[in-house]
Structure 1
Amino acid sequence: MNAPLAALQTHPWAFPALEAIHIAGIAVMLGNLVLFELRLFGLGAALPIRALARLALPLAVAGFVAIVASGLLMFASQTGELLTNPAFRLKMLLLVVAGCNAVWFHARGSLGRAESPETGPDPLGRLLGALSLALWLGVLACGRAIAYV
């Protein structure tokens, strides 16, 4: 076992510090996604959606990077237990679906269609936004459930 993984398993503060980084990343990512998606649903109409996206989406990506980095380290320190945990497996499935949903949202140009004066709100974009919220909340719930199943 390499030194960083050994430290995660033996140092009393290593794993809790990693969990704190993971939780902070979740807060940054989910907080910015909720803010953006509420705007996508029509709340805060005075805020231009593209300007909000330029602020919120890079922060959400930064939070996601922190989540992935800390999550991979936590996974590497407990691989056997996590692979047999049904909550972890469901979390991974939901993560893949959430990623596909995000790719679909951006690939179809939903952001550009969000506030078209000619066509009005983009119904599919709003549906993808609602699906995004549901998926990320499912990921969050499964992450919490890992310790209990």
Structure 2
Amino acid sequence: MEWAAALEAQPFAQALRASRWTYPLVNTGHILGLAMLIGAIIPMNLRLLRGDLRAVQLLRSYAIIGLSIAAVCGGLLFSVQATDYVANSWFRAKIALLVLALLNAALHLQIADQHLPRQRRVAVGSLGLWTAVLLCGRMIAYS
């Protein structure tokens, strides 16, 4: 927990905490990144369920951009209350599921070489994992 307290004490975290506008803008960036990520993940995996690989590459690019935005903004938001987040079971579940979702996403890179049943398992896993990540992330605010 010392590292979390040290992160909260960093000047950028204190500035973010003290700012009237920066924190809400970073929060908006996190939500925008999530919207872009999920907005690409859902149609990408629905196409994959049908065995249609044509749009997967394009949608994957948007998913990566959305994930990058969400991760940077999420990291900044985390820095403001790191000790609280580390102690929160919903946050820990979110991070664990996020790791699993990213591992599943790595399977997408070789998806064209896989048989349709395997493609479908990867797609269903992706849809379920990203939904669970969102749910856990939302539950953080209620715990």
The reply to whether TM is greater than 0.5 is yes
2:133 to 127, 135, 139: 139
Aligned partner of 2:97 in structure 1 is 94
Aligned partner of 2:71 in structure 1 is 68
Answer yes or no: is the 8 Å Cα contact 1:110–1:122 preserved in 2: no
1:25 to 25, 33, 57: 33
The residue correspondences of 1:1-149 to structure 2 (distance < 5 A) are: 1-42=9-50, 49-50=53-54, 52-106=55-109, 109-113=110-114, 122-149=116-143
Equivalenced residues, count: 135
Q: Deviations over 1:19-40 (max 9, x none)?
A: 1100100110111111111111
Structure in which a larger fraction of residues adopt helix: 2
- C-alpha displacement at 1:10, in angstroms? 0.8
Unaligned stretches of 5+ residues in structure 2: 1-8
Over the matched positions of the two proteins, sequence identity in percent amounts to 33
Distance 2:29 2:73 in 1: 7
Structure 2-normalised TM-score? 0.87
Root-mean-square deviation over aligned CA pairs: 1.6
Distance 2:122 2:10 in 1: 41
Distance 2:122 2:85 in 1: 29
Answer yes or no: is the 8 Å Cα contact 1:101–1:132 preserved in 2: yes
Answer yes or no: is the 8 Å Cα contact 1:8–1:15 preserved in 2: yes
Unaligned stretches of 5+ residues in structure 1: 114-120
Answer yes or no: is the 8 Å Cα contact 1:26–1:67 preserved in 2: yes
- C-alpha displacement at 1:74, in angstroms? 0.9
Answer yes or no: is the 8 Å Cα contact 1:9–1:77 preserved in 2: yes
With CA pairs under 8 Å and 6+ residues apart, which has the higher RCO, 1 or 2?
2
